[in-house]
A and B are shown apart, each in its own frame.
Chain A
Amino acid sequence: MPDVNITVDGKKLAVPAGTLLIEACKSVGIEVPSFCYYPGLSLQGACRMCLVKIEKMPKLQTACTTVVTEGMVVSTEIDEVRQARKAMLELLLANHPLDCPVCDAGGECELQDMTFSYGAAESKLIDIKNHKDEQQWSPVVYFDRPRCIMCYRCVRICGEGMDVWALGTANRGSAQLIMPNHSDYLECEECGMCIDICPVGALTSGAYRYKTRPWEMKHVGTVCTHCADGCKTTLGVRRSPTGMQIVRGDNRDKSGINGDFLCIKGRYAFDFASHDHRIQQPLIRREGRHVPASYDQAYEHIALRLKEIREQHGGHAIGVIGSTRTSNEESYLLQKFARLLLGTNNIDHHRTADFPSFAGALARKKDATASMRDVFNAPAILLIGNDPTEQHPLLAWQIRNNVRLHRARLYVVNSSPIKLRRQAASFTQIPAGSEPQLAAFLAGDDSAANALASGEITREALAALRDKLRGEPNLIIIFGSELRGSSIDSLVRFGAAISGAKFVCLGDYANSRGAADMGLYPDLLPGYVPVGSGARFHEEWGAPVPTEPGMNLLQMVDAAKAGRLKALYIVGANPVARYNLDPFALSKTFIVAHDMFLTETALLAEVILPAANAYEKSGTFTNTCGDLQLLKKAGDITTVKSDFEMLLRVADRLGFDLRQLVPFRQAERADLGQSRGAQSGEADRHAIWLEAHGLEPKLSPFDPIAMLDEIQRLVPGYDVSRVELLAGNDQHTSIEAGVASSIASQPELILPANDTLFTSGTLGRYSRTLNSVIENPRRAPADKADREVVV
């Protein structure tokens, strides 16, 4: 669009036509205060804080609703404007209780900031302020009516952003108030976006209320450990007798791939970390009971038994099960531990999507995967299967807002009427379980349409849909775990005919894509390299590893039943509950479990090691789109250790040279910052500088960055910018299979998590907030009929 020339406070500037005046001012560093204006939401013009003087207009105008026009002359710093701002603040404060010392927003309140900047701290009003008692709208949302300044941000984010429409307004004038859809309680997705976007403390969070104050916490931006979307959540951490306690989660740091968005799990479900049932010390089973032991005793016990079994029965009598919630470095270390040290390829994890087939189908295709950011900007999206609103809340947010803000065309094909159909340009309901036929049909197999056509969905309609999709350049194709094996091949063939088409394969759990990429498979090394052709890895690892594919998870259980599997090493997984295994099948096996809680699986273990969760360690996570992000440690908790450290300690006890497992070394010019200012900021920048020059100090085997080094060298697609990654930005990795054709996918092993918004595998059971929302008798999803079908 052509540029428009305007003058603001004497500064001449050219901005694209259609720009809002408030944004134009912001672009040259002139701040126009506002409460109700929020980028990405519809315009409201409610708060009147952004009044400015425009020449030739008789009265002051709101900058947030005025579009720039040619020759406009604007003043923002004249007395008239200043007086107007001050008067507006005075009016906003007329009924605002001055309970800042108690209010949760105190210290990060926009009204406080504005009052400091623009005055009006004293009031001319002598009447008694209107008061209304605080209300609890849901287990996580509280509303303090008198603090509300009626900016409508919550109403708009809930409706426009979340498509939930649970909030509205009632009454007029000074009696006007925000009201939930059920007059005194909310029926919604409990995302808490309304709380985060509230400029004052009117909406407060049930989890954080009156616990502490913003400046008392340390704020750590890390990756959420629940679903596979990889939102950045900022954890508010404070001191506690156990080392640290997480008291709140929000998206204060909006630099993440999620921008403004965070769902209930990212915002509230950090509380499992301080659950009473957490294992606090290693447990060893003696005479049928788990008794506390020291770490040394536990490592010794594990090493002794593993050594014995390896020597007597060989490596193939040992199995390893990895986790979908441990960091990439830990998954990589675990498979290296299994292959190099235990000498076995019996390694698997809880598979939630067919990533190997996806990698195989995309072999030798460049830039064929979409990042989470791409989903927000794509001109067209095809969604097959899955229900992102429940299982991938961020993906749903990206799709929804792409449609709303960019007019993207969304095509939904699903076996149930999922909520995203409300944004869809076309919704096609197909019989349950017929997604593979759809993939075949899209790829050109017309006979497959027989299984799809029913009722309103005729063969012609399907053909029309296919033709339409073929004419959508830069289409992003998103599919759930309904598509596996050859169906993914078909879909990729269909996409190959569309220029610029990209794919997203949806898995569940925070790092299931990472677990797959890091080779937690009995037949695949990291980067989907078949175990038979991993010469590169053998060379790097400096020792031969078994080249025969090992047993998968179910085969391992069968072998254990038959007495052939003597030991099972389980890291952060609960296969007994997930796969509904018979606990007695494992009764003859020596089991080691790293876990946070005494889960069904951990109970069977002979040695249980207390594990740290993702909020208590550093490393990297890969989300389901393949975006690599840095995990930042919120703090250390006494009594638990990271899986990385515990694995290495066991390896050490087994008499293994740790240098071979983790490529740490004496750094030549390592300067850990001691010679510089001790300010943490400088230490951070220093670390980044060292990284950029390949000089990073890797003096400790417990440093996961040393492992990341090897991952970036050996795993195809992971050679992303390290500086960007360490600076906290997401980096898109590509997925490439070493040898496409040789990947034998085992679709029968894929077990989708089928989590809803309020569940999160085994971990979710230990979150008080999630449980309180589930048990809330007044909660019934707005679109209930839709949701019952999906699960």
Chain B
Amino acid sequence: MAVIKDIAAIAKGMSITLKEMFSPTVVENYPDGPGPLKGAKFQERFRGVHVLQRDENGLEKCVACFLCAAACPSNCIYIEAAENTTEQRISGAERYAQVYNIDYNRCIFCGYCVEACPTDAITHGHGFEIASLNATSLVYRKEQMLAPLPAHLGSNAVFNQAETETGTPAVRS
């Protein structure tokens, strides 16, 4: 009887092995996959590198209210505000962020900043490959996080939704 029991167990185990062999793979083929994400897949809600959004007119949504900085538990957001002028209009309201830095050495990707934002200006993108051997390069400037201008507003770069979602730096050094 013992022999039959053993054979049954092996058959049961091998059936799982064989079943999995012919079903599609669950493991992501990162980093050898195709596309800008190199095979990585994300849930919609994944909290990656921040993206600073623009409104339908291409103006920055951020009005430099500092609420994200106030909400931030790791104190990694630094903002300097300035006033829009008629000659130079950056955001939709009176004030805009002249400097907007996020220190990714400190950021814990908790999403409080996104929750605090009254204008939906800051969102989490899906950018995640930010590890670096140089800590100073982890302080991201506004230009690195800003969503690209929509193509119909004169931006030469083709509007690339995937790149916006990844949150990869718009300006690469």
Residue numbers in B under 8 Å from A215 (CB-CB):
66, 70
Known pairs A99-B93, A102-B93, A102-B95; A212 contacts B66 (CB<8 A): yes
A101-B70 CB under 8 A given contacts A209-B83, A210-B82, A212-B81: no
User: Within 8 Å CB of A539, what residues of B?
Assistant: none
Do B82 and A213 touch (CB < 8 A)? no
Q: Are B81 and A210 in contact (CB under 8 A)?
A: yes
Complex CA distance for A744 and B95, rounded to whole angstroms: 60
- A sample of 5 more A-B contacts (CB under 8 A), given A106-B65, A212-B66, A215-B66, is A102-B63, A210-B64, A210-B95, A211-B81, A216-B66
Q: Is A100 an interface residue (CB 8 A)?
A: yes
Which residue of chain A is the closest to B82 with respect to CB atoms? A210
Residue interface mask A68-106, B partner, CB < 8 A = 1: 000000000000000000000000000000011110001
Closest A residue to B95 by beta carbon equals A210
Q: Taking the complex as formed, is B160 at the interface, i.e. its CB lies under 8 A from any CB of chain A?
A: no
- Among the listed A101, A209, A216, which residue makes an inter-chain contact with B118, where contact means beta carbons less than 8 Å apart? A101
Chain A residues, Cβ within 8 Å of B67:
101
Is the CB–CB distance between B69 and A216 below 8 Å?
yes
Q: Which residue of B lies closest to A101 (CB)?
A: B65
Assess A102 versus B66: contact at CB under 8 Å? Given A210-B82, A210-B83, A212-B81.
no
Q: A209-B83, A210-B83, A212-B81 in contact; A102/B94 too (CB < 8 A)?
A: yes
B57 in the interface (beta carbon within 8 A): no
The interface residues of chain B lying within 8 Å CB-to-CB of A213 are 65-66, 70, 81
Say whether A210 contacts B94, CB under 8 Å.
yes
Measured between alpha carbons, how far is A374 from B95 in the docked complex, in Å?
A: 45
The chain A residue sitting closest to B116, CB to CB, is A101
The answer for the CA separation of A100 and B66 in the assembled complex, in Å, is: 11
A100 touches B83 (CB 8 A): no
Chain B residues near A99 (CB-CB < 8 A): 93
Instruction: State the CA gap A210–B118 with chains docked (Å).
Output: 17
Do residues B63 and A101 form an inter-chain contact, with CB atoms below 8 A?
Answer: yes
Q: Which of A102, A209, A211 contacts B65 (CB 8 A)?
A: A102
Q: For the complex, is B119 an interface residue (Cβ under 8 Å from A)?
A: yes
Chain B: minimal CB distance from A324 (Å): 36
**Chain A's nearest CB lies how many Å from the CB of B19?**
55
Residues of B within 8 A of A106 (CB): 65
Q: Closest CB of chain B to A347's CB: distance in Å?
A: 45
B143 to chain A, nearest CB (A): 19
Complexed CA–CA distance, A212 and B66 (Å)? 8
Interface digits, B47-89 against A, CB 8 Å rule (1 contact, 0 not)? Answer: 0000000000000000111110110000000001111000000
CB proximity to A under 8 Å, residues B86-104: 93-95
Q: Smallest distance from the beta carbon of B28 to chain A beta carbons, Å?
A: 39
CA distance A101 to B65 in the complex (A): 5
- When chains A and B are docked, how far (Å) is the Cα of A212 from the Cα of B119? 17
Interface size on B, residues (CB 8 A): 16
**Chain B residues with CB below 8 A from A101, complex form:** 63, 65, 67, 93, 118-119
Chain A minimum-CB-distance residue to B92: A102
> A581 to B20, alpha carbons, bound, how many Å?
98
The minimal Cβ–Cβ distance linking A107 to chain B, given in whole angstroms, is: 9
Which residues of chain A are within 8 angstroms of B118 by Cβ–Cβ distance? 100-101
Residues of chain A within 8 A of B65, CB atoms compared = 100-102, 106, 213
> What are the 4 tightest A-B residue pairs by CB atom distance, in nearest-first order?
A101-B65, A210-B95, A210-B83, A213-B66
Interface size range of chain A in the complex: 10 to 19
Shortest Cβ gap from B60 to chain A (Å): 13
Give 18 A-B contacts (CB < 8 Å), ordered by A residue. Answer: A100-B65, A101-B63, A101-B65, A101-B93, A102-B63, A102-B65, A102-B94, A102-B95, A134-B94, A210-B64, A210-B81, A210-B83, A211-B81, A212-B66, A212-B80, A213-B65, A216-B69, A216-B70
CA distance A102 to B92 in the complex (A): 10
A432 to chain B, nearest CB (A): 47
Q: How far is the CA of A106 from the CA of B93 in the complex (A)?
A: 14
Shortest C-beta distance, A247 to chain B (Å), equals: 10
A99-130 toward B: CB 8 Å interface, digit per residue (1/0)?
A: 11110001000000000000000000000000
CA distance A102 to B93 in the complex (A): 7
Residues of A within 8 A of B64 (CB): 210
Report the minimal beta-carbon distance from B95 to chain A, rounded to whole angstroms: 4
- Quick one: closest B residue to A240, CB to CB? B80
**In the complex, chain A residues whose CB is within 8 Å of the CB of B66:** 212-213, 215-216
List residues 197-216 of chain A with CB under 8 A from any CB of chain B: 209-213, 215-216
Give Cα A211 to B97, complex, Å.
10
A17 to B89, CA, bound (A): 59
CB neighbours (8 Å) of A210 from chain B are 64, 81-83, 94-95
Q: Which residues of A contact B94 (CB under 8 A)?
A: 102, 134, 210
Distance of B49 from chain A, by nearest CB (Å): 23
Distance A134 CA – B84 CA, assembled complex (angstroms): 13
Q: How distant is the Cα of A474 from the Cα of B141 in the complex, in angstroms? A: 65
Per the bound structure, the CA–CA distance linking A106 and B95 in Å amounts to 13
Using CB atoms, name the residue of chain A closest to B67: A101
Q: How far is the CB of A437 from chain B (nearest CB, A)?
A: 56
Which residues, 179 to 238 on A, are CB-close (under 8 Å) to B?
209-213, 215-216
In Å, the complex CA distance between A216 and B70 comes to: 8
Give the shortest distance, in Å, between A676 (CB) and chain B (any CB): 24
Closest to A99 in B: B93
B83 contacts which chain A residues (CB < 8 A)? 209-210
CA A134 to CA B86, docked complex, whole Å:
13
B83 to chain A, nearest CB (A): 4
- Chain A residues with CB under 8 Å of B93's CB are 99, 101-102
- Give the residue among A102, A106, A213, A215 with the most B Cβ atoms within 10 A: A102
Chain A residue with minimal CB distance to B70? A215
Chain B residues near A134 (CB, 8 Å)?
Answer: 94
Interface string of B88-129 (1 = CB under 8 A from A): 000001110000000000000000000000110000000000
Chain B residues lying within 8 Å of A102, measured Cβ to Cβ, are 63, 65, 93-95
Residue of A whose beta carbon sits closest to that of B121: A101
Give the distance to chain B from A683, nearest Cβ to Cβ, in Å: 21
Question: CA separation between A212 and B67, bound complex, in Å?
Answer: 11
Cα(A101)–Cα(B81), bound, Å: 12
In the assembly, what is the distance between CA of A137 and CA of B65, in Å? 25
The residue in chain A whose Cβ has the minimal distance to the Cβ of B118 is: A101
Chain A residues whose CB sits within 8 angstroms of the CB of B81 once the complex forms: 210-213
Complex alpha-carbon distance, A344 and B78, angstroms: 53
A632: shortest Cβ distance to chain B, in Å?
Answer: 25
CA distance in complex: A209, B94 (Å): 10
Measured between beta carbons, the chain B residues less than 8 angstroms from A216 are: 66, 69-70
A207 CB to nearest chain B CB (Å): 12
Distance between Cα atoms of A102 and B96 in the complex (Å): 9
Q: What is the chain A residue whose CB lies nearest that of B84? A: A210
A101 to B121, CA, bound (A): 12
* Closest residue of B by beta carbon distance from A211: B81
Write out the residue numbers on chain A whose beta carbons fall within 8 Å of the beta carbon of B63: 101-102
Give, as a whole number of angstroms, the nearest-CB distance from A97 to chain B.
Answer: 10
Which of A602-629 touch B at CB < 8 Å? Answer: none
Instruction: Tell me, in angstroms, the Cα distance from A210 to B93 when the chains sit together.
Output: 11
In angstroms, how far is the closest chain A Cβ from the Cβ of B99?
11
Instruction: List residues of chain A with CB within 8 A of the CB of B82.
Output: 210-211
Assembled-state Cα–Cα distance A100/B95 (Å): 12
Closest chain-A Cβ to B52's Cβ sits at a distance in Å of 15
Task: Give the residue name and chain of the A residue nearest to B93 (CB).
Answer: A102
State in angstroms the CA–CA spacing of A99 and B65 once bound together: 10
Give Cα A134–Cα B64 distance, bound, in whole angstroms: 19
Chain A residue nearest to B80 in the complex (CB): A212
Q: How far is the CB of A219 from chain B (nearest CB, A)?
A: 16
Q: How far is the CA of A106 from the CA of B65 in the complex (A)?
A: 9
What is the CA–CA distance of A99 and B94 in the complex, to the nearest angstrom? Answer: 10
In the assembled complex, the Cα of A102 lies from the Cα of B64 at a distance in Å of 7
In angstroms, Cα B81 to Cα A212, docked, is 6
- Least distance between A206 CB and chain B CB atoms (Å): 10
CA distance A134 to B94 in the complex (A): 10
Chain A residues near B119: list those with CB within 8 A: 101
0 or 1 for each of A126-154: is its CB under 8 Å from B? (1 = yes): 00000000100000000000000000000
